[in-house]
C-alpha cells in the first residue's frame, strides 16, 4: 500500500538565487497547490552570500529546500501523504523558472507489510543477457 510520495527535485538555475522570503512564498504556494496544510515554517540564510535552508512542516508531511547560489543549484524535497498531491506542488516549483534545468525523482513510500499488489514480479537476466520473469505471491 502506497502511503505517500517523496519527490526529490534538483534545480540548476535561478531557483538557487532566491532569498528566504521568496523561497517561503514559493513553498507555501506549492503546498497549497498540492492540497497540503502548512503547520510551521522556518528558513535560515547562511551569511550575506550564502545559500538558504528552509522547511515547511505540513499536516501531510514536509517540503524542504537547500540552495547553493555559488553552484547555481537548489534541492527541493516534497513528501506528502494521504490525499495531498505532491506532483502538483512540484509543478509550482518547476514553473517558477521555466528555463531552469530540473530533474525530479519520485519515490513511492509504501509499507512492506502491505504490498501495493498481491503479486510481485521479479526480473532476472540469464547468463546470455535474456530477461526472465517470475511471479511471487
- Chain centroid to CA 23: 15
Prediction pTM value? 0.81
Q: What is the pLDDT of residues 125-135, one digit of tens each?
A: 333 334 333 33
CB-hemisphere CA count at 13 Å for 88? Answer: 12
- Is the Cβ–Cβ distance between 55 and 68 less than 8 Å? no
Domain ranges for the chain = 2-136
Q: What is the pLDDT of residues 15-60, one digit of tens each?
A: 999 999 999 999 999 999 999 999 999 999 998 889 999 999 999 9
Instruction: List the catalytic residue out of 11, 15, 61, 62.
Output: 61
Active site annotation includes 11: no
CB-hemisphere CA count at 13 Å for 117? Answer: 5
Active site annotation includes 28: no
Active site annotation includes 134: no
Instruction: List the catalytic residue out of 17, 20, 28, 66.
Output: 66
User: CA-to-CA distance for 46 and 30, rounded, in angstroms?
Assistant: 23
**Is residue 113 packed enough to be buried (19+ CB in 10 Å), middle (13-18) or exposed (0-12)?**
exposed
pLDDT of residue 99: 95
User: CA-to-CA distance for 81 and 6, rounded, in angstroms?
Assistant: 9
Q: What is the pLDDT of residues 49-88, one digit of tens each?
A: 899 999 999 999 999 999 999 999 999 999 999 999 999 9
Q: Write down the CATH number for the domain with range 2-136.
A: 3.60.90.10
Classified as helix, coil or strand, 100 is: coil
Q: What is the pLDDT of residues 87-122, one digit of tens each?
A: 999 999 999 999 999 999 999 998 877 665 544 333
Amino acid at each position: 500500500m502506497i502511503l505517500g510520495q517523496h519527490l526529490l527535485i534538483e534545480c540548476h538555475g535561478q531557483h538557487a538565487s532566491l532569498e528566504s522570503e521568496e523561497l517561503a512564498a514559493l513553498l507555501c504556494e506549492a503546498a497549497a497547490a498540492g492540497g497540503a496544510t502548512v503547520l510551521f515554517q522556518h528558513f535560515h540564510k547562511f551569511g550575506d552570500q550564502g545559500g538558504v535552508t528552509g522547511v515547511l512542516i505540513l499536516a501531510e508531511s514536509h517540503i524542504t529546500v537547500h540552495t547553493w547560489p555559488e553552484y547555481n543549484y537548489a534541492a527541493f524535497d516534497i513528501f506528502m501523504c494521504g490525499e495531498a498531491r505532491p506532483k502538483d506542488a512540484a509543478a509550482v516549483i518547476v514553473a517558477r523558472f521555466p528555463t531552469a534545468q530540473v530533474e525530479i525523482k519520485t519515490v513511492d513510500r509504501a509499507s512492506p507489510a502491505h504490498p501495493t499488489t498481491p503479486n510481485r514480479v521479479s526480473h532476472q537476466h540469464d547468463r546470455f543477457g535474456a530477461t526472465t520473469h517470475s511471479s511471487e505471491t
